[in-house]
Amino acid sequence: MADTLILEVADLETDILTGIYSEETGKAQPLRISIVAELKPDAQYTPDTPLDRSKNYMDLKFAATEALPEGVHFKLIEAVADHICDTLFAQDVRVLAVTVRIVKLAIAEANEKIGITLRRERR
């Protein structure tokens, strides 16, 4: 079995233009996004290993916030998840797979978690 390095950002809340219903279009929807990126790790990490030998986990946060195109309306949250995956794959060739979980906060009535999970492997 090969070694894998897992980077995670969990429960990041951000507003994104998404939705298919008339009451959703034209205004940002609150989403809770969690991202898991799987990487091929270095052979070993020591106390003085520099950051460029791994991946900055803030890149995951960037992919779910600043890297999303401003003013673009995503009909499906699946498209948001795909964009996040594409961003992470483009950032770093060491990213082997990405899992994005998105929960639509505005439609919950009793604190249930309604949303999707998308896992993509590098093609």
Output the DSSP codes for 9-60.
EEEEEEEEEB-SSTTTTTSEEEEEEEEEEEEPPPS---TT--GGGS--THHH
pLDDT at position 111 is 84
Q: Which CATH number fits domain 5-121: 3.40.50.720, 3.30.1130.10, 3.90.230.10, 3.40.50.1100?
A: 3.30.1130.10
For the chain, give every domain's residue range. Answer: 5-121
Round to whole Å and give the CA distance between 43 and 20: 46
Read off the pTM: 0.92
pLDDT digits (tens, 9 = 90+) for 31-75: 999 999 999 998 899 999 998 888 898 999 999 999 999 999 999
pLDDT at position 27 is 85
Give residue 108's pLDDT band: very low, low, confident or very high (50, 70, 90): confident
In the numeric block, which tokens belong to residue 44? 């070993």
